[in-house]
Amino acid sequence: MQIPADTVSLRDYEYRFHEKVDPAIRAYIAGAAADAVTQRENGAAFERIRLMPRALVDMSKASARSELFGETLEYPILIAPTAYHKLVHPDGELATVQGASLTRTWMTVSTQASVTLEDIANASTAPLWFQLYVQPRREHTLSLVRRAEQAGYKAIVVTIDAPVSGIRNAEQRAAFRLPGDVRAVNLAAFPSTGPVSASLGSPVFRGMLDHAPTWGDIAWLCHQTALPVLVKGLLNPADVKPALDAGVSGIVVSNHGGRTLDTVPATIDLLPAITSAVGGAVPILLDGGVRRGTDIVKAIAFGASAVLVGQPVLHALAVGGMPGVVHMLTLLQTELEVAMALLGRPTLQDIDASLLLRPGGV
């Protein structure tokens, strides 16, 4: 795969992705819930925020490095968990993790990866986190956690905003089905739950939600592992206290990229309230709509320790393979450094709400 010469931003990779990829696969990866209101708003909310630069600041010791859970984070950018990378590249997550390693980027590996979590770990030279969907049976959930521990993963990220799948009309219209050679290999040993019978009288409330996790399950999980447990998909500040009471070590502010419930707010709009509710008790990360280095600055200014990017990774993998992932992540790292330089903020600790232009003026 050769990266087109005019591909110089994450949006360029997205355009090329739409040109290149099979329509059904494109509908699955790019598809949003319902009318895509939230997916569009994730990006639009970042665009509405304005930045105030400072001039002639000494940047001689500038660095985007920080520390998170005792590990050095070279840039505040992580790869978000996304499923089935083999849909867009034959090497799947192996190509992604190689690109992540070359750019010193931490990767969050999906429960629904199309390569085993062990094989991904063996190919990585950068820290890995494991994204967990709580399974109907606790012994199966614990089995995944133990595998991640044994493979050297550094944290468990529990998705809490998708007890059922969102209504994705674009995916339905395209009649997307997983190809026979792409599957969630990490779940292969577990029995399928099978379809819910229509005779039960409800397509969702009876059957599909019988084993949906609660805060009690998160508290149980936090007691089962010494790894940091983060919850991903927290949007409402009212959920901060239950999360902290359950013992979580971190929070990822996320709306699943607009793929579950449509018309919920953009994540960057909710970040300040969640930061306030957390009160510094645990690190906060954010995903949803991050496409520029300036987006990262805005998230950090509102209280995030780092951001995660998901769809852009699959766009780059589809367009340029492993080199595409390297190039895309390098673009984002470079844009962040340029933004910090032009804003006069030498370190991440120097990025705060004072660089945000308030409505109505300075």
Say how many Å lie between the first and final Cα of the chain, rounded: 47
- Contact assessment for residue 300 and residue 285, using Cβ atoms and an 8 Å cutoff: no
Which of 18, 89, 223, 256 is labelled catalytic?
A: 256
Instruction: Establish how many alpha carbons lie within 13 A of residue 226's alpha carbon, considering only the half-sphere containing its beta carbon.
Output: 3
Measured at the CA of 78, the angle between CA 112 and CA 74, to 5 degrees, comes to 145
Q: CA-based diameter of the chain, in Å? A: 70
Give the position of tokens 């709580």: 134
Q: Which residues pair with 130 in a beta bridge?
A: 109, 156
Cα–Cα distance for residue pair 203/111, rounded to 1 Å: 25
Bridging pattern class, strands 106-109 and 71-73: unpaired
Q: Is 256 a catalytic residue?
A: yes
> In sequence order, which ranges of the chain are alpha helices (DSSP H)?
10-20, 23-30, 37-48, 93-102, 117-122, 138-150, 169-173, 215-224, 240-246, 267-278, 293-301, 311-343
The DSSP letter of residue 72 is E
**Catalytically annotated residues:** 256
